[in-house]
Amino acid sequence: MYIYKIGYHSCEDSCYVELQHESKFTKEELIKIIAEVVWEEYLKLTPGEIPEICFDSFFYAFGNKSLAELLVKNCGFKAIEYTQVLSLFGWAKIMDRTHWEHDRGEELNLLTDCLEQKQNDANKNI
């Protein structure tokens, strides 16, 4: 299986989805696949004409389906099932539980616990 990260970016925002496929595609081949999906959806709205729409709108939901859903439904892509997703709040100081106290989250506090334990163990060996 090959994994593909597909998304969009702007000056203020970005969003990506990860999908897998049995075939390996170049960037150009992937763009052609997406173009075909976009074109088929456009034809359902206004035959033969591409309406004015931004890619982020199509990415999230064009009609009733997102781009990822269309790639899965029509092109043999599959959703990736994650074993774990870990996303820690990035602005808080790791070892200061009062820094960004309400935004830290349980995961960052668990990391702090682990590091404090390692520090305590290291100090015992001095």
Q: What is the CATH classification number for the domain harbouring 52?
A: 3.30.70
The pLDDT of residue 58 is 72
pTM exceeds 0.85 = no
Distance CA 68, CA 8 (A): 12
- 3-class SS shares of the chain: helix, strand, coil, % to 5: 45, 15, 40
Q: Are 112 and 97 in contact (CB under 8 A)?
A: yes
Range(s) of the domain holding residue 113: 86-126
- Whose tokens are 């597909």? That residue is 6
Do 8 and 64 lie in a common domain?
A: yes
Do 17 and 68 lie in a common domain?
A: yes
Q: How confident is the model at residue 96 (pLDDT cuts 50, 70, 90)?
A: very high
Distance CA 82, CA 73 (A): 20
Domain tally, the chain? 2
Q: How confident is the model at residue 83 (pLDDT cuts 50, 70, 90)?
A: very high
Q: Which whole number is the average pLDDT over 44-48? A: 68
The pLDDT of residue 65 is 82
Output 39 or 72, whichever has higher pLDDT.
Answer: 72
